[in-house]
Structure 1
Amino acid sequence: MTASAIEANAVTAALGADAPALPHAPAQPSARRLLGLYLLLGFSAGLPFYMFNAVLTLRLARHGVDIVIIGFFAWIALLPTFKFAWAPFIERYDIPGFSRFWGRRRGWIMLSQLGIFFSMVAMALTSSDESLPLTALFAILLAFWTTTLEVAADGWRIELAPGQAAQAPIVAANLWGYRSAMVAAGSGAILVAAWADWTIAYLVIAVAAFAPFPLLAAMRPEREGAGGRALALASGIGTSLLILLTAALITAAAGWALLSAAAGIGLSATTNVTPVVLAMALLPFAALALALPRINRLPSGTAATLPSFAAPYVELFWRYSYAVLAMLAFVSLYRMGDVLTLTLSHPLWNAKGYTLHQIGVADGAVALSASMAGVALGGFLSTRLSLGWTLAIGAVTAAVGNWIYVWLWHADPSAAVLYTSVAVDQFGNGFAGTVFVVYLSMLVSPTNAGAQYALLSGFAFLLPRLLAGASGSMQTQIGYDGFFLLSGALSFAAIFLLPVIARVKGRTPA
């Protein structure tokens, strides 16, 4: 039995799906339970996201950290961009203790939740931000374990529901959970910080993020004869603590080396990093352009004979050939505005004098309702219209969501201005995000779903997150209004690649 079949059968057993598990094909939970599963998984992954991103930038701004340094912290969000580097490892190896009893994917999810919990507790205990390197270390660890959780869930989703019509409602449910959690975390943390302090805020979200762990631990084993639950839980936690400690030490050593190198070349808050960032962003395109002629000439099926790490990616590049360059350019532009807006929107609100309570409400009820409306409409239209049309609508709504902040910057501060701006932004973000996930899901091969989706979704945010790290530098040169005009224009520019993207058809192996 294949690993995917075993895991799918485990889902069926755990959720009590109606259909019996087949020995050589992924078993399908009922549609209702599959939607519930991905609502929960989306919620689990979404809670920590704002805590190393938007909430952290607001926290740093309230502590008086320079806007350029705050921009540098946006580079932490680059980590999910490179999730393809460890996605094959997640799909191939088990977590001792956890995986033996609950299966490989649930094992990785449980390890990730432990990592998320302890990283957020560490961020709570260093919430004064007196040592920015320590703040960065724990934020990086939080980003790593959050991303690992997403990788384990994404491949499962694509295996269980191939096809656009099947993907759209699951993607919508997943994003409902994800965005609900992001908004709940952002709004909840900010409101708690307004009432108490940042330490309490991070501890509250850490406990909430850990809530799914006991639910997973209470699920049925992957298969009969898996052994005792208590022993599996104890050995899994013990192994996980060793893994978490090792990851923290490696990250600390790598961070120290990187900071030393940056100091050695004179990188500081006064350095204009934008040209360097743009040059770095072009490197992956150049490397792939050089490799494509050789990959294109490979005989059909060659990718299957390559090492497991390389095979999924070579198969993707071989299947789409030179068109993959246009695809990657399109996905790099499509979410540009959303990423750049997330980086500087909270410092913008802080600069305009909005209170933590007002920001908390905007990040809460306003953002949640608008985002869910966008997700729902995006999921609905993805089942009714061609992807070309839904992607075009998403690009427009995302651009308008950026440009609305130009109005906010020039308008007199008021709750109505803030809430209207956030509603427009989050509706466009929710709509564009939904159709974008459906589009990426249609590009991957079912046999390499997890790794290929990790590559595409990670690459989609490489250029935006590289530029996000330079957002503070850009803001000092063109102001907040110029920054949000530019970010919206970059999202809108993806429309001009749609005629090319719509005609791309992958090769079929002989």
Structure 2
Amino acid sequence: MSAAEDAQAAPRRDWRAALAVYRHPRVIGMLFLGFAAGLPLLLTGGTFTAWLRDLGVELSSIGFLSWVGMAYSIKVLWAPIVDRLALPVLTRLFGRRRAWMLLAQGLIIISLTGIALTDPTEQLWLVAVWAVITAFAAATQDIAIDAYRIEAVSKERQGAMAAAYVTGYRVALLTAGAGALHIAAVGTWGLAYGTMAALMLVGVICTLIVREPEVAERDRKTAQIEQRVLDYINNTSDTGYWRAFKAWFIGAFVCPFVEFWKRFGKIALLLIAFIAIFRISDIFMGVMANPFYLDIGFTKDQIANIAAAFGLAMTLGGAAVGGLLVARFGIMRMLIATALLAPITNLTFSWLALLGPELYGLVFAIMADNVTGGMAISVFIAYLSSLTNSAYTATQYALFSSLMTLPGQFLAGFTGVMAEFMGWFWFFVSSAAIGIPAVLLALWIARVANPDRLPQPGREEAPAERTD
């Protein structure tokens, strides 16, 4: 079957049914969970460093403290614990995913309050401790929310869940960025961080309201893999706590990766390659966007109003459209479309480089790039979600999300050298060309691993999806 025929075989809905996806209670709830996920990011990042510099903290100290953000990049290391470890009392009362969400949210509130009550000029070490706790708790919350988002609804609603998540996340970034700065300007930095700690209650309340996802813990093939672990343990001389820990460790840390490899075989490597390069064109271009605007003559006010504010609106609109189109046409068609649109829209910046500082050109380029970028985020999150096994949702998705950004972030370090050497026109042409392999791999995936046709492991015998 050709890629086109395979894509045509994907289920389709009419537009009314597709639009109804945004009325689903769990999709609405994801808007608030996305807000809770996005709020801590800048409070240990850009807003945090602005506060420290405003108080006169040395740049060297600020630079070292920026390392706290690495927690988001290495969260895959403890994602298996979130997947498998039951929390005393909390798991019994709220379920596996909500228990970890509530624990993480509680730690975020406590640590942000600690930052608010601590003076960095006198106790910088204590501020650093609170910031580290915030970052690791926020990364843990991300792991649990991602797992909940994947398990809470069926595959065709994943695009809408991603769109709601992205919308809440971006609103939170505005709140923790511009909002916190405005509060600090009229009050104090302590008041700003205290307010952000209080706003985390949005996530706590939502977590208490939503219900725990009801999914089958393991399918037959997953059970076979884990049985082999038990057979291996039974053939060793290990006893007592060491034996129990060894069995748990292999099941939590090794089995998720073994299961993914067994499920997809040799094509797993190409799937991983696709995950790594899908967003590389956007990341590659995005690093140089603001220097480009300034270089060709746009003012800071124009950049703020069009590239930032208008661009955010276009991204959120694109994310919503992406979720709708996934519900209407399925993941695969939209995966191919967004893989193709990302490099094409990069060429609008090559056109803008030739046009110069014309506002209509900037508006058109931002509209094209941010709408397709928002669509791509929703579609790709839905695609990554379709690759997970419900027995290992948190671990596998944490791995995929890390792979999604690391290669692009590494290569982005060379973009300044390229822009200086090539000039802006050819730089954006090259940023478009670097996205071509992702298009080719998307077409290949449609043929051999179409997510609209593959069953979701661990979900075949899951209870019917709840509507609350």
TM-score (norm 2): 0.66
Cα distance in 2, alignment partners of residues 340 and 123 from structure 1: 34
Find out whether 1:359 has 2:351 as its counterpart.
no
1:168-194 per-position Cα deviation (integer Å, ceiling 9, x unaligned): 333333333233333444443465577
1:379 and 2:323 correspond: yes
Distance 1:459 1:179 in 2: 21
Q: Does the CA-based 8 Å contact 2:80-2:395 persist in structure 1? A: yes
Mean Cα deviation higher: 89-98 or 329-338: 89-98
Q: Distance in 1 between matches of 2:362 and 2:316?
A: 18
Which amino acid is the alignment partner of residue 260 of structure 2? L
CA contact (8 A) 1:326 1:500 kept: no
Structure 1 residue 308 corresponds to structure 2 residue 231: no
Distance in 2, Cα, partners of 1:388 & 1:133: 49
Structure 2 residue aligned with 1:443: 387
The alpha-carbon deviation at position 371 of structure 1 amounts to 1.6
CA offset at residue 313 of structure 1? Answer: 1.3
Among 81, 85, 109, the alignment partner of 1:89 is: 81
Distance 1:493 1:57 in 2: 37
Matches within 5 A, 1:271-420: 301-306=224-229, 307-309=250-252, 310-340=254-284, 343=287, 345=289, 354-355=299-300, 359=304, 363-364=308-309, 366-399=310-343, 402=346
Which amino acid counterpart does residue 301 of structure 1 have in structure 2?
Answer: Q
Cα 1:421/1:207, change in 2 over 3 Å: farther
Instruction: State whether residues 399 and 488 of structure 1, in contact with CA within 8 Å, keep that contact through their aligned partners in structure 2.
Output: yes
> How much has 1:500 moved relative to structure 2?
2.3
Contact 2:277 2:408 (8 Å CA) reproduced: yes
1:171 corresponds in structure 2 to 162
Partner of 2:142: 150
Q: Deviations over 1:268-306 (max 9, x none)?
A: xxxxxxxxxxxxxxxxxxxxxxxxxxxxxx999335533
Give the Å deviation of 1:321.
1.3
What letter corresponds to residue 337 of structure 2 in structure 1? I
Q: How many angstroms apart in 1 are the aligned matches of 2:191 and 2:44? A: 16
Residue 211 of structure 1 aligns with an amino acid whose one-letter code is: V
Cα offset, 1:95, TM superposition: 3.8
CA contact (8 A) 1:348 1:480 kept: no
Q: Secondary structure at the match of 1:503?
A: helix
User: Aligned equivalents of 2:251 and 2:120: distance in 1?
Assistant: 44
SS of structure 2 residue aligned to 1:90: helix
Counterpart contact for 1:112–1:148, Cα < 8 Å: yes
Note the alpha carbon deviations across 1:373-423, whole angstroms, 9 max, x for none: 211221122233353431232124333555555667787668777665544
Tell me: CA distance 1:471–1:123, structure 2 relative to 1, closer, same or farther (3 Å): farther
Contact 1:84 1:451 in 2 (8 A): yes
Q: Kindly provide the amino acid, as one letter, of the partner of residue 104 in structure 2.
A: S
State the 1:494 CA deviation.
1.0
CA RMSD of aligned residues (A): 5.0
**Letter paired with 1:213:** V
Q: Structure 2: 5+ residue runs without aligned partners?
A: 1-21, 213-220, 230-249, 459-468
Q: Pick one of 30, 38, 41 that aligns with 1:46.
A: 38
Moved more, 93-102 or 388-397: 93-102
Measure how far apart 1:70 and its partner are.
11
Is the CA contact (8 Å cut-off) linking 1:57 and 1:346 kept in structure 2? no
SS of structure 2 residue aligned to 1:446: coil
Where structure 1 has 5 or more consecutive residues not aligned to the other structure, the ranges are 1-29, 223-297
- Secondary structure of 1:384's counterpart equals helix
- Could you tell me which residue of structure 2 aligns to residue 112 of structure 1? 104
Q: Distance in 1 between matches of 2:188 and 2:302?
A: 13
1:211 paired residue among 191, 194, 202: 202
* Distance verdict in 2 for CA 1:356–1:437, change over 3 Å: same
Indicate how the Cα distance of structure 1 residues 303 and 133 shifts in structure 2: closer, same or farther if over 3 A, else same. Answer: same
Pairwise CA distance, 1:108: 1.6
| Alignment: residue pair count | 401
For the Cα contact (< 8 Å) 2:160–2:378, is it kept in 1? no
How do 1:467-478 residues align onto structure 2 when only pairs under 5 Å count? 467-468=411-412, 470=413, 474=417, 478=421
- Superposed CA offset, 1:334-380 (max 9, x none): 1224444555556766887855896378544x234212221122112
CA separation of 1:192/1:81 partners in 2, compared to 1, >3 Å: closer, same or farther? same
The separation in 2 between residues aligned to 1:55 and 1:120, in whole angstroms, is 13
1:447 is paired with a residue whose SS is: coil
* 2:306–2:366 contact (8 Å) kept in structure 1: no
Q: Does 1:427 align with 2:371?
A: yes
What is the deviation of 1:459? Answer: 2.0
8 Å Cα contact 1:340/1:464 also seen in 2: yes
Question: Residue type of the partner of 2:28?
Answer: G
Residues 33 and 207, structure 2, Cα contact 8 Å, conserved in 1 = no
Aligned counterpart in structure 1 of residue 410 of structure 2, from 466, 476, 500: 466
Instruction: Check 1:326–1:475 CA distance in 2 against 1; reply closer, same or farther (3 A cut).
Output: same
Identity score, percent: 30
| Closer, same or farther: CA 332–60 of 1 in aligned 2, 3 Å | farther
Tell me how far apart the structure 1 counterparts of residues 251 and 161 of structure 2 sit (CA, whole Å): 28
- Give the AA of the match of 1:446: S
Q: Pick from 150, 164, 180 the counterpart of residue 171 of structure 2.
A: 180
Q: Could you tell me which amino acid in structure 2 is paired with residue 308 of structure 1?
A: G
